[in-house]
Amino acid sequence: MENWQSKAVKSFPELESQITRNQGGLLGLWPDLYAALTAAYRETPINENLIRRIYEYAGWCFRQPEGEGPEGDLSNATAVGLIESLPLDQRVSDDLHRWMSVETFEGCEKLFRYHLTEDEFGKWHAAFVGKKKGVAAPSLF
């Protein structure tokens, strides 16, 4: 099995120095990747390539079997380090339907609710499901 760090370097060669000097493991890398994600949405046009790579990497992390120790649970590190922050940026949250499946979205409800009120989550969920109906491409995670 490929480790998270070598996979990250392959996925984000432009961030290699941040990835290799990271002392916080995957959980410590996600803030850098989240910052890159939000910056990709601020570009004109948006940086589809980087956005796709971040979501592909998140999907890869989600699919890894649970290992031992703090470095072993990539899915949990991704949930806490990235997923719960997705509602914080309007551009990211408005576009999430293109990348995430309804099943994953609904499975992450508790993570999303960490930053959202009941009403905010309800509106976001309804908008996500409505937009998802118009997406033919497969979700990355």
Sequence-distant contacts of 104-109: CB under 8 A, at least 24 apart: 104/62, 104/139, 104/141, 108/79, 108/83, 108/84
Query: Contact 53/7 with Cβ under 8 angstroms?
Result: no
User: Would you state the pLDDT for residue 116?
Assistant: 96
Q: Does 62 reside within a domain?
A: yes
Whether 138 maps to a domain, the answer reads no
Calculate the average pLDDT of the chain.
93
pTM of the model: 0.93
82 found inside a domain: yes
* Mean pLDDT value of segment 67-72: 64
Which residue segment(s) compose the domain that 68 sits in?
A: 4-132
Percent of all residues in the chain with a pLDDT value above 70, rounded to a whole number: 96
